[in-house]
Amino acid sequence: MKKICLTITIAAFLLILTNGIQAQTTQTKLDQVELMKQIIGKWQADVGKDTIEVWECQQYGKAFIVNVYQGIKGHKTPMYINNIGFDSKENKFKGYVLWSDGYYSTWIGSFNTEKKYVVDMVHNFNPETAYAKFESETINPKERNWTSFNKEGVQTSVLKFIKVE
């Protein structure tokens, strides 16, 4: 009887032990700040007849600043400045956009692959208040697409940026 109880106990223990073992995926954590360096430089996209949108992106320590303006028939019109900081606890970037008319907006985003950057536009950095989404996909070091989506996830526009400097 003791031998049967011991055998059953050992079998049950092994069953529980093997049932609790799970394979671990070895997903490497993306170096968000290093990947953001892909945007450094001057980028432009055609947005309409005689109109280009220009992004001048620079690194500021571990942060980034993007000065955006439109060139309309050769005339430079400021649009906004995007200040981008990195939240290491959340492993996400947070951006504060100051528009030339004094309005501001905030966003939260991160790279989900080495080539795709996803941004949720939110009210005052609250992720539960997302009202639009953007995706930036690097095609190659000199080309990337910037896609806009509304709150429902419907694509509203695509800009094709070319690095000019």
| Model-wide pTM > 0.95 | no
Q: Please, what CATH class does the domain formed by 32-163 belong to?
A: mainly beta
* Cβ(110)–Cβ(116) below 8 Å: no
For 15-65, write each residue's pLDDT tens digit. Answer: 444 454 455 555 678 999 999 999 999 999 999 999 999 999 999 998 999
Work out whether strand 155-163 and strand 143-150 pair parallel, antiparallel, or are unpaired.
antiparallel
- Region of 80 (left: φ > 0; alpha: ψ -120 to 50; beta: rest) is beta
The domain limits of the chain are 32-163
